[in-house]
Amino acid sequence: MRILVIISFFIAIAIMPKFGIAQVEVKISNEIVVGDNNEKFYLHQVNKDETLYSISKAYKVSVEDILKHNDLKDGLKEGQKIKIAVPDAAETTTVLHEEQDTIAPEGYVYHRVEKGETLYRIMFNYQVKLEDLEKCNPGLTSNIAPGQLILIPTKEKRIAVQAALKYDSLTTYKLKKRDNYYRLEKKFKLNQQQLEQLNPQLKTLGIQKGMEINVPYLKETKVIPEFAPIQLDSVKPKEFYDNPEEVKYSQCKPIVYNRHIYKIGFLIPLYANLDKEIRVENDYLIKKSNEYKSFRFVEFLQGAMLAIDSLEKLGFKAEVFVWDTQAKESQIDSIVQLEDFKQLDLLIGPFYSKNVKRVRTAASLNHIKLVDLFSSSFIATDSLTDHFILKPNEQSNYNALVKYIGDSIPNYRISIIHQSRDKELARLSKLKKALYANYSGIDTNMIFVYDYKNGGMSKLMSELSATSDNIIFNLVDDEARVSNFLRQLNLKKKDISIIVMAQDKHWSKYKTLELDYLSALRYTCAIDYHVNYSDSTSVIPFDQKFYNTNKRIPGKLGYVGYDLAWYFGSALYSYGTNFSTCFNQINIEGMHSNFIFTEIREGVYRNKAVRVIQYDNYQKIRKN
């Protein structure tokens, strides 16, 4: 145990200097060398705590450009000398030409994609349909990247296109010196409103000699058609769509060869300020590792880094930043002001729900995708960037239990018992919502509700079925009554089939529940964490790898860290920063839980995947 503690300690300390909070000022080198092709390079000596990102920012070049000219497979090392390309006048000229190329054709505007933007948000902000964008931008998909230019037709241009459909055919007419709206009306049988509808430039520029406008072919008619305004179809907020499939903006296509370097940040309370507790002179003062606050979340980071390392071997590229929050609000407020933080693509953390709101605000302002680990309920009504809530809510747990009943138990009688407390009635409402949903497939005639206070316990016992599986949901929030309830049911199990169901987050806090009863009554619950330690395909290999790397066996947070980093890293690698539009195609099952994210508000996603666990012969067996 003593060796384990010391090793864990040095792992934590080794990480902190590399990813610490302090910003390192990178000094630009004066030493210039000439390459084989007469290219000029700064020769930069890497100093302590410098990162690829901080160096690239100082020299105003991309990280990709540094990697192109240097072999950095083993990462940066203090004292190492690397080459930084010196920009020349030709590059500056190229940039100027690129800026000139962004001048859009008449009737169109260019939109430069900002970090964190999705194709849907652009469609909604400009109120332009996907089919119009695809016509102007061949090959456009939802995998858009920061800096990308998207050509967007103006509202007037789209109205002109619709107006042209009213006429059999159009031709161009070059305006003459004496032309005015009266003469044009006499000649083409169109009034001013109709001409401006077909030719929006007339509104802004007026009639000018030499201007070409669209007009119908001349016809033998003396009647001017009645003017009819054109209403364009609107792009609605997502919550207005009855069918979520209507909001699919374009087919999600995986990125074939993704060479982008993603910036991933971790906000973790590592408590580096408490290292004096660990540095003891007497071996007898060394405590168990779980007694040190500093070690509480280290294994989460260790698991996450193993996942990122595995992804890098597949071609994924990431620059990782780890900040020690020390669980202090002041520390977090300082971190979110750092330039490194503002450049992140993905942020995992913080680990305490009380700090999520302040971090979410900063993440939203900088379009950083935020992974919220442990909040039990969402904070925002909407978000300017993607906010992913990992922890499923109580409704998801009930939905999973009801689905298990509908899928696996053909002959049942469902009993629900409560004692009319506000919390219990709230749970009853959620359970009923799951049971009575149209898609549940539950026979509602087989649902019976009992009130503990009004003789419900005795009535429930007397009405148990001898021919069906008795599924009993106990919503009572009272440890003594729950324990007594299990004892009485255990006496009945010899004659009838009983399956007890409850929320594990409530029952797990009870310390007096007999394991014998739970096993005999096939206690079934929905839980967001369960690891099958006998799984030889993923769990056992991970345990071995974790131990070989960290000289300790992984605990709960080790599995969570690996699963999270693997899921979101894979999503970035496959679909880029707009992976949230492709969730239906990301099918990754974690070791501790699944991930099924559903949008509950604009930009706010909650994981609805839970595992149904049943106690059977003193073992926890996964049932879904």
The DSSP annotation for 448-463 comes to EEEEGGGTHHHHHHHT
Helices 2-19/539-550 angle, 10° precision: 80
- Verify that 111 and 243 share a domain, yes or no: yes
Q: Hey, which of 29-38, 99-108, 249-258, 539-548 has the most confident mean pLDDT?
A: 539-548
- Verify that 125 and 141 share a domain, yes or no: yes
Q: Using pLDDT thresholds of 50, 70 and 90, give the confidence band for residue 363.
A: confident
Q: Hey, which of 14-18, 27-31, 247-251 has the most confident mean pLDDT?
A: 27-31
- Residue with the larger pLDDT of the pair 66 and 98: 66
- Verify that 122 and 246 share a domain, yes or no: yes
- Verify that 408 and 372 share a domain, yes or no: no
Q: Are strands 387-389 and 346-348 parallel, antiparallel or unpaired?
A: unpaired
Structure confidence at residue 543 (pLDDT): 93
Which whole number is the average pLDDT over 165-178? 84
* Within a domain: 621: no
Got the DSSP string for 549-611?
HHSS---HHHHHHHHHHHHHHHHHHHHGGGGGGGGGG---B-SS-B--EEEEETTEEEE---E
Cα distances (Å, whole numbers) of residue 484 to 75, 216, 480, 488: 61, 87, 6, 6
- Verify that 468 and 364 share a domain, yes or no: no
Domain end: 41, 58, 91, which one? 91
| Placement of tokens 């049942």 in the chain | 412
The answer for residues whose C-beta is within 8 angstroms of residue 508's C-beta and 6 or more apart is none
Structure confidence at residue 513 (pLDDT): 87
Which whole number is the average pLDDT over 106-131? 81
Segment among 212-226, 350-364, 506-520 with least mean pLDDT? 212-226
Domain boundaries, position 418:
394-527
Vertex 24 angle, CA 19 and 28, to 5°: 130
The answer, yes or no, to whether residue 499 has pLDDT greater than 90, is yes
* Within a domain: 6: no
- Verify that 457 and 377 share a domain, yes or no: no
Rounded to two decimals, what is the model's pTM?
0.71
DSSP 26: P
Structure confidence at residue 376 (pLDDT): 63
Using CA atoms, how far apart are residues 114 and 117, in angstroms rounded to an integer? 6
Domain end: 213, 228, 251, which one? 251
Structure confidence at residue 11 (pLDDT): 33
Q: What type of residue sits at position 393?
A: N
Q: Hey, which of 74-88, 162-176, 403-417 has the most confident mean pLDDT?
A: 403-417
Q: Using pLDDT thresholds of 50, 70 and 90, give the confidence band for residue 165.
A: confident
Closest residue by Cα to residue 250 from 364, 54, 146, 118: 118
Cα distances (Å, whole numbers) of residue 465 to 412, 437, 523: 9, 24, 18
Domain end: 471, 492, 527, which one? 527
Structure confidence at residue 539 (pLDDT): 92
* CATH number (domain holding residue 76): 3.10.350.10
- Verify that 317 and 209 share a domain, yes or no: no
* Within a domain: 13: no
Q: Using pLDDT thresholds of 50, 70 and 90, give the confidence band for residue 624.
A: confident
* Within a domain: 97: no
| Placement of tokens 């799951």 in the chain | 434
Q: Hey, which of 1-15, 341-355, 370-384, 554-568 has the most confident mean pLDDT?
A: 554-568
The answer, yes or no, to whether residue 512 has pLDDT greater than 80, is yes
Q: Using pLDDT thresholds of 50, 70 and 90, give the confidence band for residue 169.
A: confident
Q: Hey, which of 158-167, 200-209, 465-474 has the most confident mean pLDDT?
A: 465-474
354, 332 in Cβ contact below 8 A?
no
Vertex 361 angle, CA 59 and 368, to 5°: 45
Structure confidence at residue 96 (pLDDT): 36
Which whole number is the average pLDDT over 477-485? 88
Structure confidence at residue 309 (pLDDT): 93
567, 588 in Cβ contact below 8 A?
yes
* Within a domain: 53: yes
The two counts, helices (H) then strands (E), for the chain are: 22, 21
Dump pLDDT digits (tens) for 563-596.
999 999 999 998 888 888 788 788 888 899 889 9
- Verify that 318 and 404 share a domain, yes or no: no
- Verify that 321 and 438 share a domain, yes or no: no
Segment among 47-51, 177-181, 312-316, 460-464 with least mean pLDDT? 47-51
- Verify that 232 and 287 share a domain, yes or no: no
Using CA atoms, how far apart are residues 379 and 361, in angstroms rounded to an integer? 11
Using CA atoms, how far apart are residues 74 and 60, in angstroms rounded to an integer? 23
Structure confidence at residue 100 (pLDDT): 42
Take residue 115 and report the two structure tokens written for it: 């970090």
* Within a domain: 112: yes
Q: What's the mean per-residue pLDDT of the chain? A: 81
* Within a domain: 99: no
CA 118 to chain CA centroid, Å, is: 13
Take residue 602 and report the two structure tokens written for it: 């604009």
* CATH number (domain holding residue 450): 3.40.50.2300
Structure confidence at residue 469 (pLDDT): 92
The answer, yes or no, to whether residue 320 has pLDDT greater than 60, is yes
Count of structural domains within the chain: 4
- Verify that 434 and 376 share a domain, yes or no: no
Which whole number is the average pLDDT over 7-18? 32
- Which residues face 34 on adjacent strands? 40
* Within a domain: 387: yes
- Verify that 560 and 550 share a domain, yes or no: yes
Using CA atoms, how far apart are residues 569 and 307, in angstroms rounded to an integer? 8
Take residue 103 and report the two structure tokens written for it: 């001048």
Closest residue by Cα to residue 501 from 423, 610, 400: 400
